[in-house]
Amino acid sequence: MPVYLIGTLDTKGREIGFVRDLLGEYGVDSCVLDAGCLGDPAIPADVSREQVFEAAGTTLEEVLSARDRGRAVTTAAEGAAAIIAAESERGNVNGVLGLGGSAGTTIATEAMRRLPLGVPKLMVSTLASGQTRPYVGDKDILMLNPVVDISGMNRITRTVLTQAARAMAGLVTLQRSDEKSSSQPGGENDKPLIAATMFGVTTPCVERARQVLEEAGYEVLVFHATGTGGQAMESLIRDGLIAGVLDITTTELADELVGGVLSAGPDRLTAAGLKGIPQVISVGATDMVNFGPPDTVPEKFADRTFYHHNPTVTLMRTTVEESRRIGEEIGRKAAAAAGPTVIILPLRGVSAIDADGQPFDDPAARDALFSPIRDTAAGVKIIERDEHINDEAFADAAARALLEMIR
C-alpha cells in the first residue's frame, strides 16, 4: 500500500519529489497526486490533475475556462477526497502526506478527513501555527509548520521536509511487537466503548463516573467539550464504534445557541439518538458561553457576567432566557432519540462555578434550564438529584443509569 503525496505539482512539485524520494529511501512506497491546474507539473504524477477533476464530476478544461481560483481549489479538494476515500475502502491507502499553503492545505486535509482514525495523516502547512480547526476537524491529522513558505528548496525547507518524510515513514512502518495492537483480539479494544464529555468545570463528575464504568468492564473515551471534541464524539457514534454515551457536559450547545467559540455545530446531541445508542444526558457547563481573551468578547455582551478562566479563556454566564433555550434544545433532541435515553439533572449546580457562593451561581437560570427539559422531553426518563454535578453521588447515579440501559 502506498502513502499518497498530495500537492499542486505546478508550484510544489520539486518539494513533493524530494519527499517522495526520501520515502523511497526509507522503504515506503508512495503515490503522487497532482492537485494543481495552472502551470505544467514539475514532476510526473501517479494520479493526474485530469483524474482529480474527473473524480469531482468535471474536467480540467472546464475548471481552467472558469478562471476562478476558489472554485478550482474547492473542486480539486472534492476530487482528491473522492479518490483517496475510494482507495481507502479498497485497502490501498497506507497514509496521506500533503504540502501546501492555504490552497494545498484545503485540498489535502479534505482528503485526510475522509480517512478512518489511525490512518497516518500529516500536513506540512504554512497555516500550521494558526487556526487549524477548519483543516483538522475531528480527525487525527498532524500539522507541521514549515517555518518558511514552501517555495523552492533551501536549508530550512530541506530540514522540515526531511522531518515530514521521517515522521510518515515511522508512522507506517514501525510496529510495537512487545504488546498487542488495539486491533488484535484480546487487546483493550475488545472492551465495549463508552463516550463521555468533560470540561474542566465538570472534571470531578466525569472522572468519578469513568472509574465506575471502567470497573464495570468498559473502556471510556473522554472528549473535551471544546467543539471539536463534541464533533469527534458524534462522528465515532455515527461510525458505530460506541456502545453507550455519558453526555455529562453539553456546554457546546450553549456556544452554538448564543454565539461562543466552542460550538460543535447544530447536530450536537443527535448521533446517539439516531443510532439508537443508550445515552445519559446532563447539563454540564451549560451555565457558560466560551470566548477567547477578554478583548475578543463581542461588544454586544459588554454588560454580561464574566469569569476569567485563564488569560486565553473568558466565560460568560448564560442568562435566564438563554438557559431556557438551551433546555428546550436538550429536551427536544432527547425526545427524538430512537434508543434508550435518560436525562439526569443536578439541581444544585451545573459546573464548578455554578455552586453556592461561586461566580455563576444563579438559581433562576438553573430553573429556566430545567423547566423546559421537563416540558419537552416527552417519554424520556428524567432523574432529578438534589446534588451538585460534581458530587460523587451524582456521578455514581449517572454511571449506574447508563450501565442499566446498556445491560
Query: Which segments of 292-378 does DSSP mark as H helices, in order?
Result: 320-335, 363-376
Note the pLDDT tens digit of each residue in 217-269.
999 999 999 998 999 999 999 989 999 999 999 999 999 999 999 999 999 99
Q: Are residues 217 and 135 in the same domain?
A: no
Distant-in-sequence, close-in-space partners of 174: CB < 8 Å, separation ≥ 6: none
- Residue 273, amino acid: G
Flag whether 81 is in a domain.
yes
Residues 349 and 240 in one domain: yes
Write down the pTM of the prediction: 0.78
Of the pLDDT bands very low, low, confident and very high (cuts 50, 70, 90), residue 180 is very low
Residues 374 and 227 in one domain: yes
- Whether residue 164 lies inside any domain: the answer is yes
- Do 168 and 222 lie in one domain? The reply is no
Please report the pLDDT score of residue 183 as a whole number: 44
Rounded Cα–Cα distance for residues 350 and 197 (Å): 14
pLDDT of residue 161: 97
> Is residue 165 located within the same domain as residue 310?
no
Cα(323)–Cα(328) distance, integer angstroms: 9
Last residue of a domain, one of 107, 141, 173: 173
| pLDDT confidence tier of residue 318, bands split at 50, 70 and 90 | very high
pLDDT at 189: 60
User: Residue 185's pLDDT band (boundaries 50, 70, 90)?
Assistant: very low
Domain contains 358: yes
CA pair distance 63, 78, nearest whole angstrom: 13
31: cell is: 503515490
Q: What percent of the chain has pLDDT over 70?
A: 96
CATH number of the domain encompassing residue 393: 3.40.50.12030
Q: At what angle do helices 155-173 and 13-25 cross, to 10 degrees?
A: 50
Which tens digit of pLDDT belongs to each residue from 8-58?
999 999 999 999 999 999 999 999 999 998 889 999 999 999 999 999 999
DSSP run (H or E) holding 222: strand 219-224
Residue range(s) defining the domain that contains residue 303: 188-406
Domain-located, residue 335: yes
Among residues 97, 98, 101, the alpha carbon closest in space to that of 149 is found at 101
Q: 207 pLDDT exceeds 80? A: yes
Place of cell 499553503: 101
Q: Are residues 192 and 163 in the same domain?
A: no
In sequence order, the β-bridge partners of residue 95 are 3
- pLDDT tens for 257-309 read 999 999 999 999 999 999 999 999 999 999 999 999 999 999 999 999 999 98
Q: Which three cell numbers stand for residue 257?
A: 445557541
Number of structural domains the chain divides into: 2
Q: Per the domain annotation, does 45 fall within a domain?
A: yes
Q: Distance of CA 254 to CAs 10, 226, 285, 294, 375, Å?
A: 45, 11, 9, 18, 19
Among 117, 148, 173, the domain-final residue is: 173
Residues 283 and 218 in one domain: yes
Q: In terms of domains, do 30 and 159 share one? A: yes
Tell me if 272 is assigned to some domain. Answer: yes
The predicted structure's pLDDT at residue 188: 55
Residue 178 lies in a domain: no
Q: Which of 138, 173, 208 is the last residue of a domain?
A: 173
3-state secondary structure of 225: coil
User: What order of strands is seen across the sheet that includes strand 95-100?
Assistant: 30-34, 3-7, 95-100, 121-125, 142-144
**pLDDT interval class at 176 (50, 70, 90):** very low
Q: What CATH number did the domain enclosing 14 receive?
A: 3.40.50.12020
> 164 with 196, same domain?
no
> 231 in a domain, yes or no?
yes
> Which is it for strands 193-198 and 219-224: parallel, antiparallel or unpaired?
parallel
CA dihedral for 37, 43, 44, 45, sign (positive or negative): negative
Same domain? 168 vs 30: yes
- Residues 328 and 283 sit within 8 Å (Cβ to Cβ): no
One domain for residues 252 and 160: no
- Same domain as 215, residue 153: no
